[in-house]
Structure formats: structure tokens, C-alpha cells
């Protein structure tokens, strides 16, 4: 009877937690809807445009901080803050390189989070996982060498050739550790992030002259990636807290 009561309690707790999390995420959905309604990329660069673009990611920052505490500033929260900084920079075309730096730092923060103790108990290696790593790094290398001729034709090839190479290295590294966590939402978020950045690179470096709904694809996948990573990180924290509670009950 005690076991049945415990299971029922756990189910109620998970249901209540999901409802509360959804309520906390409402500002993200509202601000993302506002961004697409105003369609900021078509407007002139301004502080207002930067604020509207960064608002969805900043709202996720507060949600993750609420669940994970201040230490997460060195993890997913820090990554979201850096991403918001990148969003602001990309409003102004001449700050594109600075935006890349911000997002590169975001990937470093995400990687640090995926190496934390909250994920270590779930991480493991297998032949299938190593094969996935091989495909992932092969895809990353293939993307870079595909972009390389266009990077060499960019206005500042001496900067963008190594900068994009370093960026690709960091995002693939982040995705590798996301796969290591065995958290589906985290891994899916990292992969969608790669899709978003690759789509942006195709347009930024003139690989394609015109991509139908290119900006829509970039921003939709970008916001989705951040949402998945944030929820996955919160779920890891909740799971860790539940595991500690069960250990305390058994002791």
C-alpha cells in the first residue's frame, strides 16, 4: 500500500510540476508570438527591436534561474544570457562577429552544464553513441568545408574563416555532450540549434541568394532550440531532486 501511495504521490507531483512549468513558460510563448507578429527583421535596427528579439530568451533565463538557482549562471542560465546578448548584436549587421562571440560563449556555458553532476548519473557510452558522435563530427566538418569557399569570399576572410571554424567546433562539442546526457529534449535542442545556425550561415555568407522563409526558419528553430534546452535542463534538476528525496525516504 505504501508503494502504491508513493507512486500516486509521484504522479501527482509530476503533473503539478508540469502545470507550473507551463505557466512559467507563458511569457516565452507570448514574447515569441510578439516577435513574429511585429516581424522585427523587417524593421530598422533599434533598442526596441533588440529588446523584442531578446525577450523570449530572457524569459527562459528567469524560468531556469527559478528552478536551478544562482549556480546555473555558469550553466544553461549563463548560456541563455549570452544568447540574448547575441540576439541583440545581430540586430545591427556590423555587430555580426560580436554576436558570434556571444553565441560561442553560450555553447561553452551549455557544455559546462551538461558536464555537471545532474547529468553525470545518466551519462554513459555505447557503440551506438560513439557512432552518433562520428556522424555528428563528420557533419560538422562537412558543414564547415562546404561553407569555406564562401567564407573566403566574404568581406573579411582572414577573420571569418577561423571564426566560423571555431564556432562550428564549439557547437558540435556542445551537441556531443548533449548526446552524452541521454536527455532527449537537451539533445534535440542542440541539434535544432545546429540547424538554425546552418540556415543562418547559408544566408549570411551568400551561399544561397534567396531562401524562401529563410529568416522564419532561422528564428523558429532558434527559439525552439532554446526552449528544448531550457526545459531539458529543468527536468534534469527536478529528476535529481526527486532522486534525492527518494534516497532520504529510504534512509
- Name the band, by pLDDT with cuts 50, 70 and 90, for residue 218: very high
Half-sphere exposure of 248 (CA within 13 A, CB side): 6
> Higher model confidence: residue 13 or residue 187?
187
CA dihedral 46, 35, 197, 102 (to 10 degrees): 50
Mean pLDDT of the chain: 88
What is the structure's pLDDT at 120? 67
Residues 192-206 as b or e (16 or more Cβ within 10 Å = b): bbbebbbbbbbbbbe
* Rounded mean pLDDT, 106-118: 91
How far apart are the C-alpha atoms of 234 and 1, rounded to whole Å?
Answer: 31
The 10s digit of each residue's pLDDT in 31-79 is 999 999 988 777 788 999 999 999 999 999 999 999 887 777 789 999 9
- Domains of the chain, by residue range, sit at 2-250
- Name the band, by pLDDT with cuts 50, 70 and 90, for residue 144: very high
What is the structure's pLDDT at 24? 94
How far apart are the C-alpha atoms of 220 and 157, rounded to whole Å?
Answer: 29
Amino acid at each position: 500500500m505504501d508503494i502504491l501511495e508513493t507512486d500516486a504521490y509521484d504522479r501527482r507531483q509530476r503533473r503539478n510540476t508540469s502545470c507550473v512549468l507551463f505557466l512559467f513558460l507563458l511569457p516565452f510563448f507570448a514574447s515569441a508570438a510578439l516577435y513574429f507578429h511585429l516581424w522585427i527583421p523587417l524593421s530598422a535596427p533599434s533598442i526596441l527591436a533588440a529588446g523584442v528579439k531578446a525577450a523570449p530568451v530572457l524569459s527562459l533565463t528567469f524560468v531556469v534561474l527559478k528552478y536551478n538557482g544562482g549556480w546555473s549562471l555558469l550553466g544553461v542560465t549563463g548560456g541563455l544570457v549570452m544568447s540574448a546578448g547575441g540576439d541583440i548584436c545581430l540586430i545591427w549587421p556590423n555587430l555580426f562577429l560580436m554576436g558570434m562571440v556571444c553565441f560561442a560563449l553560450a555553447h561553452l556555458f551549455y557544455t559546462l552544464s551538461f558536464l555537471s553532476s545532474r547529468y553525470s548519473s545518466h551519462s554513459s557510452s555505447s557503440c551506438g553513441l560513439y557512432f552518433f558522435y562520428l556522424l555528428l563530427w563528420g557533419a560538422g566538418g562537412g558543414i564547415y568545408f562546404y561553407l569555406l569557399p564562401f567564407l573566403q569570399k566574404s568581406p573579411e576572410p582572414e577573420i571569418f574563416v577561423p571564426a566560423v571554424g571555431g564556432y562550428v567546433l564549439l557547437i558540435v562539442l556542445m551537441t556531443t555532450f548533449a548526446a552524452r546526457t541521454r536527455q532527449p529534449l537537451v539533445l534535440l535542442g542542440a541539434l535544432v540549434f545546429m540547424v538554425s545556425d546552418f540556415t543562418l550561415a547559408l544566408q549570411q555568407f551568400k551561399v544561397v541568394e534567396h531562401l524562401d522563409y529563410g529568416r522564419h526558419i532561422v528564428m523558429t528553430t532558434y527559439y525552439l532550440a532554446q526552449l528544448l534546452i531550457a526545459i531539458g535542463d529543468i527536468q534534469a534538476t527536478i529528476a535529481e531532486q526527486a532522486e534525492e528525496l527518494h534516497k532520504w525516504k529510504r534512509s
